[in-house]
Amino acid sequence: MTAVARTTGQHPAALAAWAIVLPFAVWNFVVGFVTYQQHTYPTVVWYADRRERDPVTAQVHGTVHVVFPAPVGTLLGNIMEHTAHHIDVAIPLFDLPEAQRRVEYEFPDGVKVVRWSLRYYLDCCRQCKLFDYSTRTWTGFSGC
C-alpha cells in the first residue's frame, strides 16, 4: 500500500483509511444492521438456556423474514430469507428464496414476514431494546 501511495502521490495513512478502514467500517455497519433485522422483532423470543426450546420451532419463530425491495435483497445475497438459512445453514444463498417459500408454506403461522420500511425499523428499535429472559418479552432500557 505504501508503494501505491508513493506512486500515486497520496499519503499512505489516507490511502489505508480509504482502502481498509472505510470498507471495514461499512462492512460492520451492514452486518450489524442485517443481524439486528433478522433476529429482532416484538414477538421474537430468545432463550437463555438451549434446553428450554425446541430447535426447529425456535428457528422458525426466532428469526424474521424481512422483505427488502428487490435490488436490496439481491445485493444482500438473499440472506434476508433467514428462516430457511437457520433451519439449514448448508442451503446455498442462491437457493434461499425457494427454500424460504417452502418454509413459509410448511409453517404459515410460524414465520414472521415483514416488509422493510423506515417506519417498521424505527418502531422495532423503539420496542426492542433489551430482552427479559424471565418474562420472554422485549423491553425498553428502563425494563418496561
DSSP per-residue string spanning 95-122: GHHHHHHHHHHH-TTTSEEEE--HHHHH
**Can you give the pTM of this predicted structure?**
0.82
- Indicate whether 122 belongs to any domain: yes
Query: CB within 8 A of 98, min separation 6: which ones?
Result: none
- Indicate whether 144 belongs to any domain: no
- Indicate whether 100 belongs to any domain: yes
Element spanning 132, H or E: strand 130-132
pLDDT at 52: 87
pLDDT at 3: 85
Residues 83, 95 contacting (CB under 8 angstroms): no
User: How many domains does one find in the chain?
Assistant: 1
pLDDT at 25: 95
- Indicate whether 24 belongs to any domain: no
- Indicate whether 63 belongs to any domain: yes
pLDDT at 63: 92
Range of the domain at 77: 40-139
> What is the residue-level pLDDT of the chain in tens, covering all 144 positions?
788 888 888 888 888 888 899 999 999 999 999 999 999 999 999 988 888 888 888 889 899 999 998 889 889 999 999 999 999 999 999 999 999 999 999 999 889 999 999 999 999 999 999 999 999 999 999 887
- Indicate whether 74 belongs to any domain: yes
Residues 64, 44 contacting (CB under 8 angstroms): yes
- Indicate whether 13 belongs to any domain: no
Distance CA 5, CA 63 (A): 45
